[in-house]
Structure 1
Amino acid sequence: MKYRDEAEIKKELGIESWRHLSKDKMIKFATMMPDMDTEVALKIVEQFPAFKDFAKDAVSAIERAHESTLSANNQSQEHVHRACQDVRDILRGELGKDNLSWDEKKFLIEQIQETARMQFQKDSESKHFLDGALKRVLVGATAALALGVAFVGGRAIVETMGDSGDSSGS
């Protein structure tokens, strides 16, 4: 284990106390959990009484950011497709003129093909971007879920330990 006590974890997070744990640092805390001693992680998570609210807020914030990103990407895609279509409409109009030389016709056809290549490239970039955005959302949601599992699991372990301690003492 890389982290054996709370002090090391607070130092890594750059905080003096758990009251200073922001949402961003909470996500970092979640990514650090696999490197923590289990007892230390459970002890820390138990100190967050409003953990459920935090986890819901974190997932909602991730969801809103993702929706905003998708919307902006969609608007950008639409703008590019509309612009390319406008250019092709103009090029088709020029191509329909009777007094064009073979070289002029060839140039116009090449320009039409170029707009199609531009759209294809933009579509590929968009798909790559969306793939990366989805991965970031999954990482954030997984971190929030990991915190939730640790919190719920930690409470269950603590409650079980408490129950077994009560029954053996009676």
Structure 2
Amino acid sequence: MGSKSEAEIKRTLGIDSWRNLSKDKMLRFAAMMPDLDTEVAIKIIEQFPMFKEFATETLSALERTHSSALIANKHSQDAFHEACREIREILKGQLTPDLPFEDRKYIIDKLMELSRMESEKDSENKKFLSENFKMAALGATALLAAGVAVLGGKAALDNRSGSDS
């Protein structure tokens, strides 16, 4: 593990005191934890009596943000596809048997273009969903890693203390 001191970590996070650690900076700290010396990380975490509550609140906030993004995305997708259905119906209504070939070809080309647009929107949506899931998972993983590092570090220190006796 790394050997950064508390003072170095505070400077990196741009804080003077652990009591003033914002949620954003707590997440940055959690992401730094795997590179920290276990004893230093534990010493810092012990200064946060509300770490568990913070982690729970942060995970809840991540879940709410993720859910809101998914709901907003679904509404956007539904509106887009509904608009495409309406345009498709209008264009299909224009395809009459007495329509000249050039006009029929134009309408069919527009229907094909509309299909390509829907396909692109579907691919874009899948990419959005994938990236959104990755970000939510990354946030949750950072918090879980912080908790595991603390618990694992405490267990390692307890084992070390027990074997020294």
Shorter-chain TM-score range: over 0.9
Alpha-carbon shift at residue 161 of structure 1 (Å): 5.0
Larger RCO, structures 1/2 (Cα 8 Å, 6+ apart): 2
What is the aligned-residue identity percentage?
A: 52
Q: Summarize deviations over 1:90-149 as a string: whole Å, max 9, x none.
A: 001000x24310000000111111111111100000001111111101110000101111
In structure 1, C-alpha distance between the alignment counterparts of 2:37 and 2:161, rounded to whole Å: 20
Report the equivalent of 1:101.
100
Q: Which runs of 5+ in 2 are unaligned?
A: none
Report the equivalent of 2:58.
58
TM-score by length of 1: 0.90
In structure 1, C-alpha distance between the alignment counterparts of 2:6 and 2:162, rounded to whole Å: 26
TM-score by length of 2: 0.92
Correspondence 1:110 to 2:106: no
Q: Summarize deviations over 1:71-103 as a string: whole Å, max 9, x none.
A: 1111111011000000000001000x2431000
User: Could you tell me which amino acid in structure 2 is paired with residue 21 of structure 1?
Assistant: L
Q: Summarize deviations over 1:5-35 as a string: whole Å, max 9, x none.
A: 0000001101101001111111100111122
Q: Alpha carbon RMSD of aligned pairs, Å?
A: 1.6
Residue pair 1:45, 1:150 contacting (<8 A) in 2 also: no
Q: Which runs of 5+ in 1 are unaligned?
A: none
User: Could you tell me which amino acid in structure 2 is paired with residue 132 of structure 1?
Assistant: E
Alpha-carbon shift at residue 45 of structure 1 (Å): 1.1
Other structure's SS at 1:4 match: coil
Counterparts of 1:101-140 in structure 2 under 5 Å?
Answer: 101-140=100-139
Report the equivalent of 1:24.
24
Bigger mean CA deviation after superposition, 148-157 or 64-73: 148-157
